[in-house]
Chains A and B, each alone.
Chain A
């Protein structure tokens, strides 16, 4: 059974640009959640989608957005990139919603560098 797949794995963007990251969940999983990981802040929850609806959102500015498609695949978008957005972005999937005790399975992440 294929795991969570994230693309691209590595990317470099310039300040002010926007970026879109993609995530394909484990087959049958309806929840996709996104996290930002940085050395200073650790792992922070961005948002979660379940059956194409945003269920929860973390404390991030509106420049961070996401969506989920009918096949459960998800994308996240960051507009007007800032240097501080440089991070590892992790996607995770689960059968049910992430915060209700369901096991979440992570992809290998997308490394974003903003220059």
Chain B
């Protein structure tokens, strides 16, 4: 079985300050982990993907995430927030063999960026 928990439903930052969106996962196997972003009235866009090649994963638009197996975490960070980063962010876990083979989505974190 697998599950994913996004620890904050809302995160509010000022433009130019760092962003941290937290995600913890549970999986009996080495999972694949993803972060997606959804802007209003849009579909989900892939930010980055972890597949065990490297624990620090760089994505688009300056985002990166670090896979920490000991903490079962996959937090998303960005050094400096832009107004255009305001959106909903989803952490996704996938790849549990022998199970239902269904990607599991977190409930989402709404990132608010103040000028």
Contact = CB atoms under 8 A, between A and B. Distances in A.
Interface in A65-104: 90, 92, 97-104
A111 to B, nearest CB: 8
A35 B106 CA distance: 13
| Residue of A6, A56, A99, A108 most packed against chain B (CB within 10 A) | A99
Contacts, number: 60
B102 A98 contact: yes
Contacts of A61: none
A28 interface: no
B-side binding surface: helix, strand, loop or mixed? loop
Interface residues of B, number: 25
B34 interface: yes
A105 interface: yes
Interface residues of A, number: 27
Given A100-B94, A103-B34, A45 B102 contact: yes
Interface string B77-101: 0000000000000100011110011
A12 interface: no
A103 B102 contact: no
Interface stretch (B11-19, B41-49, B53-61, B68-76): B41-49
B3 interface: no
Contact of A100 (B34, B101, B105): B101
B2 to A, nearest CB: 9
Given A42-B108, A55-B101, A101-B51, 18 more contacts: A4-B43, A42-B106, A43-B105, A90-B43, A92-B44, A98-B94, A98-B101, A98-B102, A98-B103, A99-B94, A99-B102, A100-B94, A101-B94, A103-B49, A104-B103, A106-B36, A106-B44, A111-B41
Interface of A: 4, 6, 33, 35, 42-43, 45, 48, 55-56, 58, 90, 92, 97-109, 111
Closest 10 CB pairs of A and B: A99-B101, A101-B32, A101-B95, A106-B43, A43-B105, A106-B44, A108-B43, A99-B102, A42-B107, A45-B102
